[in-house]
Structure 1
Amino acid sequence: MIYDVNSIREDFPILKRKIHGRELVYFDNAATTQRPKQVVEAIAKFYLYYNANVHRGFHTLSQEASQLFEESYEEIAKFINGNMEETILTINTTDAINIVAYGWGLRNLKKGDEIVTTVMEHHSNMLPWRELAELTGAKIKYVDITEDGELNYKDLESKITERTKIVAFTLASNVVGTINDYKKIVNLAHSVEAIVIADGAQYVPHVETDVKKMDVDFLAFSGHKMLGPTGIGILWGKKEILEEMKPFRVGGDTIKDVTLDNVVWHDLPWRFDAGTPHIAGVIGLAEAVRYLKKIGMDGVRAHDIELVKHTIKLMKEIDDIEILGPLDPEKRTGLVAFNIKGLHHHIVAKALDMYGIAVRSGGHCAHPLHYRLNYQGSVRASYYIYNTKEEVDYFVEKLQKIISVKERLATEPVENVCTGT
């Protein structure tokens, strides 16, 4: 279909809000996206007309809810070219990664084994592996980046050895936006029979994803970063690995039978769905998937590139702005992190908020990456399907305004503005 951003914007009533008397410019999509009316209405319809627990009863409401739930589940799986039995419901990306760390890693790693990850990871794809290493005696290795914010593939080659059992990496950085070469990473990992876990939180919402072609062993992503509700995420895993795993969380709906002496675990994917699932979340995420499919992920990706290209072009003309990450828009997803020389990132974000512009500031849950780049934090503008070039123009115009009074702003105590990290 023809990409019509103005038509898309009509599905997001929140974009008509006024913030400090200005039209909202929402550039915090890497943290969470807005939801179109269609998603909110699908969730409301379930609660209003179909609400019942799934897989629990033979009454009409339970049967209808179960059918809607499973159809939605299947829709989500197909979005990444997976199937339902390999697609595990989680709370979010963080939860999904922890399921692999404790469900697979804790039972398979031993002292002397190695886990390879990178310095550009979100804390969610770093801290679980540290905890796992502490519990098992395994060793963590971190792959470095280049000065341009790209993964150092020579360093990756040197870090992967016969002792490597897990390679965990982000498909796209939530700070520098870099899209990593998954083919190279997967090939290196599999050459030593290591399993590969890909953090797709910043990738799946922006780039067409095919788990079959990627050949990763696990893929994790969140619904709320792709128009869906919060509290719902996905862990996709290869069937042969999932079949060998025992569930990390156990209880209701994870079993076929239980005696006082034995347990027979349920078939995939239900053995990993302990307790009542986030039924409305699955329905909402499926509607979000339908919305994105209607636009076309090629259109989503092209729109990202256009906005990032425009942003970098304008920012490069301003001496006081330092851009983090590669300057080639083709190498990154739809975000630009930056700093203004002489101004704390929180001060910049608060000043932008006064103009109705919502951005993120701080370490973005990726402190080691910022330290590697010699920053304490940064300001991040992140785009999605409803953002426009006109919004980018307005944003950069206000950045210039902020720079023009930065000597005064620089005297403002940061703790009076924001205490976030």
Structure 2
Amino acid sequence: MADIYGKRLILLLVLGLAGAGGVVAALAPSMGVLIAGRCLEGLSIAGMFLSYSLMRDIFPKRILPLAISLCVTGTGIFGAFIPLLVGVLLERFGFRGLFWVDVAVIVLLFVVILLSTPESPLRKPATLDVLGGFLLGGGIALILIGISQGQAWGWRSVGVIGFVIAGLLVLGAFYLWSRRHRDPVVDLVVFTRRPILMVAVTSALAYAAFTLSSALYPLLSLAPPGNGYGLGLTPTAYAVIATPLSLAVVVGGFLVGKLVGRLGGRRWMIIGCVLLLVSGLLLTVFNDTVVQLLISSLIAGAGTGMTMAAVPNLVVEYAPADDQGSIAGSVQVATSAFSSIAPVIMFAFLASGATMTAAGPLYAETGYQSTALLMAGFAALALLLLFTVFAPRYISRSLKATESVTV
């Protein structure tokens, strides 16, 4: 839609819908309504790739790499204060207070963009693939429902197997439809270009590792001590770990923005994945004290900032200008789809050794260790691919072949 109707217009549209979702979630009388509000709020994720895609069209080239990097990792600037705010809101107003703050921030963003940001002049004549969008989203959702209910229903149950098979069939239908449609919602042909495939796969693995870390740190910090893990921190006290982590994300992104011209996005992706790997390995063994969690969280934050900032710079480097929005969106779909599976697998690990108490589920330490190893495994797999399938010589050949076809 951004390529067809304008990136600024669609950015404002998704922010408006996300703000409405925040209101629904804040007023939700039931879990179902709360989930519906969260679904609408999820549209705000599109703002990330819409932002750097719009920036490519309207920003001066000399400041574009730094601006894009800070755009993507700048969340850490707000994240430095958010943990303390979250703790206060939870303790005084409950979860609804968090959603009202969401609404206020989104309204502010909407007004600032409306008043300050021009529209991109680029347009791409195309038709909107609504059916493809429903098939893609529906297939992923069915698979995630099956995986998420595996522990409750049994991994060999008819329900779990049925949902997974149904999801695969729907995704198969999406594949057939996308090959026939002139302008599919996700152009699978894009992923036949090795450079774009490299960006999609490595960003998906890196973001999945970050997703696991962002769930592990609060769980380990807030859990009661005495079970081989757990610091027993309050939501407000958790800021001692979350705030430095957020600042580390900003620092990692800033370094990429300043030095991406010298080292290139690919090298920064490698450095970031190495840091995520180290952080995951540390977390499997050293998770008993605030200092231990703080050290691994700083490493994870820096690695996350570097990988997140490397992705848009790589997209800008490899994607043609007229396909910027659709390719950025396709990369984001791959990243979001894979990273949404990661926490489902994580809680399957945790639930396998959990015991119910009056205060809620008590997870076994082995579940946390398995999740930390999974985090390290995602980063390790990204590194392996970067040095084999996506080695520089293969990327160079692919770029030369694309240039020959274009000429």
Short-chain TM bin: under 0.3
The answer to which structure has the higher strand fraction is 1
The answer to which structure has the higher helix fraction is 2
**Higher radius of gyration, 1 or 2:** 1
Scaled by the length of structure 1, the TM-score of the pair is 0.26
